[in-house]
Structure formats: structure tokens, C-alpha cells
Amino acid sequence: MTVPGSVSGQAITQVQAGGTLTREQAAAAFGPILAGDFTGADVAWGALFAALHARGATSAEALGLIDAILAFDNELADQLARPVPLDVAEPVVAVTGSGKESFKTFNVSTAAAFVAASHPGVRVIKPAGRATSAVTGASDVLELLGIRLPKTLPQVAELARECGIGVFDYHLVAPKYGPRYEGRFHHLHPLSHVTPWLFIPFRLDGMVFGVSEPRGALAAAVMVEWGVRRAAVVSTTVGEHGRIDEYAPFGTAELTMVAEGKIESSVVRRPVPADVRQVAQQHNHEDNSAMILDLLHGRAPRVAVELTCANAGLLLQVAGVAEDHAGGIAQAEELLASGAALKTLDACREASLRIVG
């Protein structure tokens, strides 16, 4: 698998034996794997991540993996070191998730982003990707909704300033690491807690991040080390159906809040509705985009509305325009019912055609 005695091999053996790595050791182990410096580097990648994930990665180990990524992809490192400001008075928040759920839902975070972005006092950044572990990724849905994905970061910022929401594909910000990672893992791994929210090169006031397993404290701890001021890390077990990377108003919902360096976690258990399968992802891109349109047009099942507004409400809470989650949900319900979210989608579609071309 690795050259005997190599730094990567030693680290893998150490973790498999139950040991932990320092931040420096994790970076030193992952760097040669990313660079493909030895025969079997890809096998070593899987072995390292499997061992870390089975034991549960520490924040130091996750930060070390990040260090290796940024050393490998200089353009990504430069972008993250100089986050783009939107130059707006309103708070700027982002929403993204790990994917890889055991219960695949429709593109909830995309729908929630449009609902929250329709609030006049908020700007939303929504990163997207192609389908990997799911049928339809956010990039697939956005394109079917008629939105042109920006080709530059200034175009993303212009979209957000003009219509409240800026969308982009992750490949725009990780030109070297993206192709190296692409399609490698269809299951959760240590970076599932880190890289989805980390790869957002915009100056943010907060974010909502979903991860489809109950280790929200890991993502929250790395966020604090990374300087994230306000965030909500969410995950829900939907009874026997499995786990999702969203906050649900049903099932066992886990919420970890980050506020100015402090981390607080809570768990709420509610019954799972009999019609919960109505929020399941459909079998093709067209039907999944149609689900979002139905939601914004007011034609979606109540369970889909509640799931979307629960996540949009967290975005409004993190942005500071709602006093608490309940207030955020109430505002989200009003924005959706009034047609404001649908107007935001229409505005984003029109603006992207003009800005992106």
C-alpha cells in the first residue's frame, strides 16, 4: 500500500492502532497522498480516512488535512485567504451540506436558500456540486431551474447583490483539489465535516451546515478554529428511514450552534410523520427540480414545506434577522406563502442570464 516506513504509512498504522495524530502529523501524512508521491497513494487515502472516521477524527487531525489540501491547491489557498466581500449592508450567510445521507431527500438546502434569500435583510451564498452519492446535486437542479452557474467569483457576488442569492459550483474554487477528490468517496469521511463549508471564498457573517451523522461538534470545533463567528451545524435521524444532513421538525434532530467562539449542542426528538417519504429525492434531475418549483409555487406537501422552512429559519436566525429558530421559521413560512421566494428564483434566473451569459 505504502512504502514501508513512509510518513503516510506510519500515520495510518498509528491511527489503526487507536492513536491520534497532531495537526502537523496529519498534514504530513496526507500531503504525499494528495500529490500521489508513491505507488498505492489512492489506497492509502482510503485507509487513512477509514481509520480516522472509524475512531472519530479530532479537530487537530481535521485541521491537518485542511493544511495539506491548501498546500496542494495554491489557488484554493489564495482564494480562502482573501475572501470576497459582497460590499452590502445586509448580513451574508451560506448554506451547504455533506450529502451522503442514508435517507435521500430532495434538494432541501437549495430550496431553503431561495426562501431565506427572499428576506430583504439577508444575502445568501449557495455553493453547489454535481450528484455523487445522490441522484441530483444542487448544480444539476440549478441548471434545470434555468440558472446559469457563474464562471468567476465576482459574478457570484454580483448575483448575490442583485437578487439576494449567489450560487456557484465548487469546481470554481478548487481547480486542483476538486479533480483529485472527485467521486472518490460515496460515504462519509473526516473531510465530510470540513470541506463542504470550508470551500466558500466569500466574507460571511454566518452559515448553516448539514452533516449526515451525529458528530456536529467536530465541524463546530473546526469552525471555531477557522474563525467562523456564527453557525448552525445540523443533522437528523428520521426514524427507521435513516439520516439526513438537514434540520428536520421531526425525528431526532441535532443542532450545534456556534456563536462568537462558544459551542452549544441540543437534541430534540419528535414523531416521524407517516408521509415523510414525500420529501424523498426523486429518480431524475427533472423531477427533483420540479419538487423545488412545486414548493415555491405553494403546491408541495406540508411535510416538505416544514422541512424547508426549518432550515431557512436557521439561516435567518444565524443572519440575525430572527431572534430565535421559531421566529426564523415563522418568517420563512411568510416569505414562502407570499410568493417572495418564487420571485427570488425568477430574479436569479434572469440575472444569471445577463451576468454569466
The tens place of each residue's pLDDT in the chain, 357 residues long, gives 445 458 999 999 999 999 999 999 999 999 999 999 898 999 999 999 999 999 999 999 999 999 999 999 999 999 999 999 999 999 999 999 988 888 999 999 999 999 999 999 999 999 987 755 556 678 889 999 999 999 999 999 999 999 999 999 988 999 999 899 987 888 889 999 998 899 999 999 999 999 999 889 999 999 999 999 999 999 999 999 999 999 999 999 999 999 999 999 999 999 999 999 999 988 888 988 999 999 999 999 999 999 999 999 999 999 999 999 999 999 999 999 999 999 999 999 999 999 998
Alpha-carbon gap, residue 27 to 68, rounded angstroms: 5
Return the C-alpha cell found at 193.
Answer: 465535516
Alpha-carbon gap, residue 282 to 93, rounded angstroms: 28
Whether the CB-CB separation of 145 and 42 falls below 8 Å is answered with no
DSSP 209-261: EE-SSS-HHHHHHHHHHHT--EEEEEEEE-GGG-EESS--SSEEEEEEEEETT
| 85 residue type, one letter | P
Give 180: exposed, middle or buried? Use CB within 10 Å, 0-12, 13-18, 19+: middle
Give phi and psi for 265, each to the nearest 5. Answer: -120, 150
Give 221: exposed, middle or buried? Use CB within 10 Å, 0-12, 13-18, 19+: buried
What letters, b where the CB count within 10 A reaches 16 and e where it falls short, cover 248-272?
A: bbbbbbbbbbbeeeebeeeeeeeeb
| 134 residue type, one letter | A
Angle in degrees, 0-180, between the axes of helices 285-296 and 302-319, rounded to the nearest 10:
70
Whether the CB-CB separation of 56 and 22 falls below 8 Å is answered with no
pLDDT of amino acid 1: 43
Give how far the C-alpha of residue 185 lies from the chain's centroid of Cα atoms, to the nearest Å. Answer: 16
What letters, b where the CB count within 10 A reaches 16 and e where it falls short, cover 127-162?
A: bbbbbebbbbbbbbbbbbbebbbbeebebbbbbbeb
Residue in the structure block whose three cell numbers are 504509512: 9
Alpha helix positions (H), the chain: 7-16, 23-35, 41-55, 59-72, 74-81, 108-117, 138-144, 153-163, 177-181, 195-198, 216-226, 285-296, 302-319, 325-338, 340-355
